[in-house]
Amino acid sequence: MTDILIAGAGPVGLTLALALHRRGIGVRVLEKREGLSSASRASTFHPPTLDALDALGVLAPLLPGGVRVNRILWRRVDSGASATVDLAIVSRETRFPHRWHREQHYLTPALLAALPPGTVRFGAGVEAMEQTDAGVTLRCADGSAHRGRYAIGCDGASGALRALAGIGVEASDYAHRVLRLLTPLDLRAHVPDLDGLGYLHDAAGSCSLLRMPEVWRLIFRIPPEMPDEAAMEEDHARARIARFLPGLRDMPVAGRDVYGVKRAMAVAYRAGRVLLAGDAAHLTNTRGGMNMNAGVHDAMTLAATLGAVLRGASDALLDAWAAARLHVVREALLPRTDARVAASPGDEVARMAALTPEQARAWAREACMLDIARIGAPG
Ligand SMILES: Cc1cc2nc3c(=O)[nH]c(=O)nc-3n(C[C@H](O)[C@H](O)[C@H](O)COP(=O)(O)OP(=O)(O)OC[C@H]3O[C@@H](n4cnc5c(N)ncnc54)[C@H](O)[C@@H]3O)c2cc1C
């Protein structure tokens, strides 16, 4: 019997596996795909996530070619009013007081390489689960069966293990979708005070600018009534650019896509010997770039809790962990990333410009997830 079985070799399952392995705990990861995913998804690593990855010894492979973001900008394109927050304001609490922009598919190979060979079994989608007082058995599509003391569902939004454990989920789609444009043009040359993340506003809305290693991402909200095909059209994209970046209407566009945004929350993080982490437990709007980061924090706090329980602490610690992480999702993660808040920004630029240094520090702690990352870890 393995100590811990993990369903899913995404960033959360692999972080959990490595954090357990570093504690000397036996772990096996079962992954449905034949290899790691290379899809373009998360791009933002927040300070406590960088602290965690550094502690696991996998930060170095993420750094070459990534983008360090020290400062966040808000700017009114009509009046030119602006505000900035320098993330150095949180440097007392983290070794990395900045955001790091790098695609998540650079993290997963680094995690995999740090695990002992054979830890991850690919082509092994979990299809069935049985649990007793002593352990859990997972049966996979390739015919294999695996027994562990606990099983953790890190199998993403589809949540196969969550469903097998009978844990319900509350989910809803946001009405709007997002148009994402990529440009190789360095927007810092065109937007005063822009570092690696900016929010441009006019009286009726906003767009986000996010610097990635080779391109900038421009993120626009598209209204519910507009079909994806219309949002993708050249004229529509150019009009959006012109509204927020006058003079750059004809900028080179190297890629574009439209995606929907959802919010979802498992009603519990635990059912017997099955626990959840990452997208299997929570799904948010991409605003603030928090969902994968929160999954990594689930993994780090769960590894510490499982370590204590396997060393003889009460199993009730896992209930406390599950309740604490659910509270984080309900009270912080979902409200902070709520697309409806962003839909009515009011004069966000004036609000940010009016913050006192102490208020700016409190804002930055929340935006960087420093206030919630370690909640649930045993004391
Ligand atoms: C466009 C976009 C932008 C985003 N930007 C950000 C961002 O900037 N910052 C941020 O923090 N988050 C962001 N996110 C969210 C982030 O991508 C996810 O939160 C993250 O991938 C979750 O990791 P995970 O390991 O929980 O799940 P996943 O990455 O979905 O991995 C789950 C794994 O489980 C496997 N699996 C599925 N079913 C089974 C099964 N039955 N048995 C075994 N394995 C199975 C899958 O194949 C997969 O490999 C973004 C998402 C999108 C779509």
Q: How many residues does the chain have?
A: 379
Residue of the CA atom closest to atom 14 of ligand 1: 42
What would the mean pLDDT of 163-189 be, rounded to a whole number? 93
Q: Which residues contact 99 (CB under 8 A, 6 or more apart)?
A: 44, 45, 46, 47, 68, 69, 87, 196, 197, 289, 368
pLDDT of residue 209: 97
Q: How far is Cα 321 from Cα 327, in angstroms, rounded to an integer?
A: 10
> Does residue 286 have a pLDDT over 90?
no
Whole-model pTM: value is 0.96
And the tokens for 236?
């529509």
Q: Which atom of ligand 1 is nearest to the CA of 33?
A: 47
Mean pLDDT for the chain overall = 95
Name residue 186's amino acid.
Answer: D
Q: What distance in angstroms lies between residue 5's CA and the mean position of ligand 1's atoms?
A: 18
> Does residue 250 have a pLDDT over 60?
yes
Q: Is 35 in the pocket of ligand 1 (CB under 6 A)?
A: no
Q: How far is Cα 333 from Cα 356, in angstroms, rounded to an integer?
A: 24
Q: Is 10 in the pocket of ligand 1 (CB under 6 A)?
A: yes
Q: Both ends of the chain: CA-CA distance in Å?
A: 29
Q: How far is Cα 335 from Cα 325, in angstroms, rounded to an integer?
A: 14
Q: What distance in angstroms lies between residue 156's CA and the mean position of ligand 1's atoms?
A: 5
Q: Is 148 in the pocket of ligand 1 (CB under 6 A)?
A: no
What would the mean pLDDT of 81-90 be, rounded to a whole number? 98
Q: Which of 14, 41, 144, when mutated, tests ligand 1's pocket best, judged by the most ligand atoms within 8 Å of its CB?
A: 41
Q: Is 108 in the pocket of ligand 1 (CB under 6 A)?
A: no
Q: Is 44 in the pocket of ligand 1 (CB under 6 A)?
A: yes
What would the mean pLDDT of 69-89 be, rounded to a whole number? 97
> Does residue 344 have a pLDDT over 60?
no
Any idea what the Cα angle at residue 192 is, between residues 186 and 196, rounded to 5°? 50
> Does residue 379 have a pLDDT over 90?
no
Quote the CATH superfamily of domain 2-67+99-171+263-343. FAD/NAD(P)-binding domain (3.50.50.60)
Among the ranges given (83-92, 209-218, 344-353), the one the predictor scored with the smallest mean pLDDT: 344-353
> Does residue 342 have a pLDDT over 60?
no
Q: What distance in angstroms lies between residue 281's CA and the mean position of ligand 1's atoms?
A: 11
Domains of the chain, by residue range, sit at 2-67+99-171+263-343
Q: How far is Cα 378 from Cα 204, in angstroms, rounded to an integer?
A: 46
Q: Which atom of ligand 1 is nearest to the CA of 294?
A: 11
Kindly list the strands in the beta sheet with 44-45, ordered across the sheet, starting from the edge strand earlier in the chain: 44-45, 99-101, 67-69
